[in-house]
Amino acid sequence: MTSTSRLVHSDPDILGGTPVFVGTRVPIKTLLDYLEAGDSLDEFLDHFPSVSREQASASYNNFILFDDEI
């Protein structure tokens, strides 16, 4: 599994510290919102091409594993 630190970044100067995919300004919550609304991962990736499939999949898997801790 990919290290969370390679997937997610939080910086007060980027969207006020909202966790985003590394190398982007796309919040992790946006992926979760898409999936919760019933949209596919492919649809999310089409709308946010700066996020790689690996980043999105691994972030979602990490969220599922650690949901109770968040």
Domain locations in the chain as residue ranges: 4-69
Cα–Cα distance list, 17 to 1, 42, 54 (Å) = 24, 26, 22
pTM for the whole thing?
Answer: 0.78
Percent of the chain with pLDDT over 70: 83
> pLDDT at residue 53 above 90?
yes
> pLDDT at residue 67 above 60?
no
CATH code matching the domain that covers 4-69, chosen among 1.10.10.10, 3.90.45.10, 1.10.4080.10, 1.10.760.10: 1.10.10.10
